[in-house]
Amino acid sequence: MTYQPRTFVLLLLFLALVAGSAAKTKASAVQEDIAEYKDFKKLLRTKNNVLVIYVASPKAAGAELKVFREAAEGVRGTGTMVYVDCGQQERKKLCKKLKITPDPYTLKHYKDGDYHKDYDRQLSVASMVTFMRDPSGDLPWEEDPAGSDVLHFTDAAAFSKHLRKDIRPMLVMFHVPWCGFCKRMKPDYAKAASELKAKGGYLLAAMNVERQENAPIRKLFNITGFPTLIYFENGKLRFTYEGENTKDALVDFMLNPNAKPTPKPKEPEWSEDSSSEIAHLTADSFEATLKDEPSVLVMFYAPWCGHCKRMKPEYEKAALELKQSRVPGMLAALDATKEQAIAEKYKVKGYPTVKFFAHGVFKFDVNVREASKIVEFMRDPTEPPPPPPPEKSWEEEEQTEVLFLNDETFATTLKRKKHVLVMFYAPWCGHCKHTKPEFTAAANALQDDPRVAFAAVDCTQHSTLCAKYNVRGYPTILYFSYLKTKLEYNGGRTTKDFIAYVNNPPSATDHSEL
């Protein structure tokens, strides 16, 4: 893959502008009005991602409280941050009821209405924000002591700034948390980083490109597989690393990047595993194997498919359990890239596709991926109910006066309107789904006012536009006036609240501009 230097520099400058400093607002992002136990329980019923800091006194936990307040700004729209001063007379009863004795502070997380866990990450703004984005997730790589010699870029701005200032040879591993290959490579990558650090003059870095703010980087380098490793020298991209993912290979490459890399060993084919309990089918054996079997699951796969690779150990585990438990039936697999005629016959369009056969006759598709679910199905192979019809996108819904904007229409639309509320959302976001009908009703109610508009931007489709306005959680609602005044909306999320806001909007002096 090659890049034009001038284009690359321009794009980096663009990224630096897009990933500007976080917005500041006078309105506190920390909820401080919880004093009664019943109010606390109500909060947990209505908010499914809550982090609470309990302090003995504001003075005793001043430093921790400052970090907490700063983190709350980055958590807006993602979770709820609550401050409880157990030293205050009116809150002592609440802390006693919850059996909280802060010394000088205690951080506890609540998920889906119940206590989840004590906060166990670093006491820093970045760590808290990362935790609140995925409270049940693994410890982020950048917080793992074993990877302390890897430079972790938090966002596009930090990455582009580094490229402008640091000319050392650098290899960057672009990864995502769910990638199995990334997880397996991390220990070797960290060891290589430590060895190269000791030698001096070399740098191994990493970036989690699943984060919304890093979407421009993912798009810039056309990253579609993980991990992707790209080598930089003198602040400029040279090429993509294609060598082995081992410590020695990484170190050798960095010491001599122009040498021909040792090719990665060819991954053995699944069908070559003699210990497998899976029946591997071909065009010649397909019908003969299936015709006498009353119950067969066939997994149509592609060797390069990541989802298939993640399913393979589960499929193998299920096959072994079926044998040991004497559950009737067979698990089979077919490489659809080799046996294309069979795949086309059974209309296989994606991988993995799992189909159920009885005596060689196709019956129905089965959506199972985990070993326990596969075994459960084979014990009683009945056809699953038809899936519900796909949910309409917000834009496809009828009777809405909400304007759906993109990169091309955003500025031109907002320049013509005096009062606009824009909701930046993601289709999967639960809070967005709750807000949508209220926002839509407000748009419909004021549809005859030419000065007013209610607009929406789908951040899964228009990530660059959302990054431009520093959208870090969903929904984020901003107020615009002729595209000149930009204020963060922190009001209620009912139709009445939205209407009242645009009928009596704040001035730029009432709030800090974004």
How many Cβ atoms are within 10 Å of 427's Cβ, its own excluded? 16
Of 121, 137, 153, which residue sits at a domain end?
Answer: 137
308 and 248 housed in the same domain: no
The domain total for the chain is 4
Lowest average pLDDT, out of 260-269, 280-289, 318-327, 379-388, goes to: 260-269
What is the rounded CA–CA span in Å between residue 58 and residue 56? 7
Choice among 86, 182, 308, 466 that is catalytic: 308
- 466 catalytically annotated: no
Residues 170 and 66 occupy one common structural domain: no
Has residue 288 got a pLDDT over 50?
yes
The residues with which 299 forms a beta bridge, in sequence order, are 333, 354
Quick one: 48 and 118 in the same domain? yes
Based on the domain organization, do 370 and 279 belong to the same domain? yes
**Cis ω on the peptide bond leading into residue 263 (within 30° of 0)?**
no
Token pair of 249 as six digits: 């290979």
Percent residues over pLDDT 70 in the chain: 90
The per-residue pLDDT for range 480-505, each reduced to its tens digit, is: 999 988 898 988 999 999 999 999 88
Beta strands in 220-306 (DSSP E): 228-233, 236-240, 279-281, 296-301
Q: Where a domain ends, among 223, 255, 287?
A: 255
Q: Do the Cβ atoms of 34 and 100 come closer than 8 Å?
A: no
SS3 at position 420:
strand
Q: Considering the domain boundaries, does residue 408 fall inside one?
A: yes
Three-class secondary structure of residue 125 per DSSP: helix
The per-residue pLDDT of the chain, averaged, comes to: 87
Task: Confirm whether 15 is domain-assigned.
Answer: no
pLDDT for 3: 47
Question: Residue 317 and residue 348: Cα distance in Å, rounded?
Answer: 24
Residue 82 lies in a domain: yes
The answer to whether residue 292 scores a pLDDT higher than 60 is: yes
The last residue of one of the domains, among 345, 379, 413, is 379
- Distance of alpha carbon 42 from alpha carbon 24, whole angstroms: 29
Cα separation, 392 vs 396, whole angstroms: 6
**Are 47 and 114 found together in one domain?**
yes
Residue 128 and residue 172 in one domain = no
Dump the DSSP string for 423-472: EEE-TT-HHHHHHHHHHHHHHHHTTT-TTEEEEEEETTT-HHHHHHTT--
CATH number at residue 191: 3.40.30.10
**Which pLDDT score, from 0 to 100, does residue 409 have?**
93
What's residue 25's pLDDT?
Answer: 39
Looking at the structure, do residues 133 and 146 belong to the same domain, yes or no? Answer: no
**Beta carbons within 8 Å of 450's beta carbon, 6+ residues apart:** none
pLDDT at residue 39, rounded to an integer: 93
Task: Return the bridge partners of 110, or none.
Answer: 50, 115
296 and 342 assigned to the same domain = yes
Q: Is the dihedral of CA 118, 121, 127, 133 positive or negative?
A: negative
Say if residue 155's pLDDT is above 60.
Answer: yes
pLDDT at position 420, please? 95
Give 434-480 pLDDT, tens digit per residue.
999 999 999 999 999 999 999 999 998 898 899 899 888 889 999 99
Q: What is the DSSP letter of 165?
A: H
- Tell me the pLDDT tens digit for each residue of 118-151: 998 889 898 898 889 888 777 888 888 888 899 9
Say whether both 93 and 66 belong to one domain. Answer: yes
Residue 404 belongs to what domain range? 399-503
Note whether residue 56 is domain-resident: yes
For position 21, what pLDDT does the model report? 37
Q: Quick one: pLDDT at residue 470?
A: 86
Q: Say whether pLDDT at 16 is over 60.
A: no
* Residue 432 is among the residues annotated as catalytic for this protein: yes
Domain membership of residue 265 (yes or no) is: no
Q: Are residues 375 and 277 in the same domain?
A: yes
| Dihedral-angle region of residue 63 (phi above 0 means left; psi in -120 to 50 means alpha; beta otherwise) | alpha
Query: Is 148 in the same domain as 243?
Result: yes
- Residue at 282 is within a domain: yes
Active-site choice (86, 95, 182, 432): 432
Global pTM exceeds 0.75: no
Give yes or no: residues 112 and 177 share one domain: no
**pLDDT at position 13 over 80:** no
Residue 2, pLDDT above cutoff 50? no
The mean pLDDT of 286-301, rounded to a whole number, is 95
Looking from the CA of 458 toward its CB, the CA atoms found within 13 Å total: 12
In the set 86, 182, 429, 466, the catalytic residue is: 429
Distance CA 481, CA 133 (A): 31
Return d(Cα 308, Cα 60) in angstroms, integer: 53
User: Which residue do the tokens 């984005």 mark?
Assistant: 133
Task: With respect to residue 260, please indicate whether it lies within any of the assigned structural domains.
Answer: no
**Catalytic-residue membership of 459:** no
Q: Is residue 510 part of a domain?
A: no
Q: Which of 175-179, 235-239, 309-313, 326-330 has the lowest mean pLDDT?
A: 175-179
> Which one, of 450, 378, 385, 390, lies nearest residue 420 by Cα?
450
Flag whether pLDDT at 509 surpasses 50.
Answer: no
| Beta-bridge mates of residue 109 | 51, 117
How far is the C-alpha of 268 from the C-alpha of 309, rounded, in Å? 12
182 catalytic, yes or no?
no
